[in-house]
Structure formats: C-alpha cells, structure tokens
C-alpha cells in the first residue's frame, strides 16, 4: 500500500490501524506499507523498516531503523 493514510483524519487512521492489526492477518500473510504516518507504527505487529534519504543531495535511501 502506498500512502493509504494521505487524506485520513486521526480517527480514520486509528480505524485503519485496527484493521491492519486485527483483520488483515486473517486474510493475507504480509503487508508492505509505505507511509509518512508515524502513528501507524503503534498498530504494527511485525517488522518495521524506516528509511530516509537526503533529497536535496539526491542521496541514496538508507534503512535507519528495523
């Protein structure tokens, strides 16, 4: 999923997080989620990889937390 929370308010993000944590694992084995929404990490039960890159220098993307 690429930026699924882009236009969601805080309540909708909370509901989406609940679905990720409680419902999705019943139907699929893994989710690859791309988001800038830090609050979603509270709902994730598996691995989280945070990445960053210096856009001004056209830098390489690096994993900073896993």
- Answer positive or negative: Cα dihedral of 10, 7, 13, 42: negative
Residue ranges in the chain whose pLDDT is less than 70: 1-2, 66
Residue 21's pLDDT is: 85
- Give the model confidence (pLDDT) of 21-39 as tens digits: 888 888 888 888 888 888 8
Phi, psi of 50 (to 5 degrees): -100, 135
Burial of 16 (0-12, 13-18, 19+ CB in 10 A): buried
């Amino acid at each position: 999923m690429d930026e699924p929370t882009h236009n969601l308010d805080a309540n909708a993000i909370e509901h989406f997080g609940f679905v990720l944590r409680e419902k999705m694992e019943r139907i699929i084995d893994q989710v690859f989620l791309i988001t800038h929404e830090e609050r979603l990490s509270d709902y994730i039960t598996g691995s989280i990889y945070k990445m960053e890159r210096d856009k001004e220098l056209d830098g390489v993307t690096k994993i900073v937390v896993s």
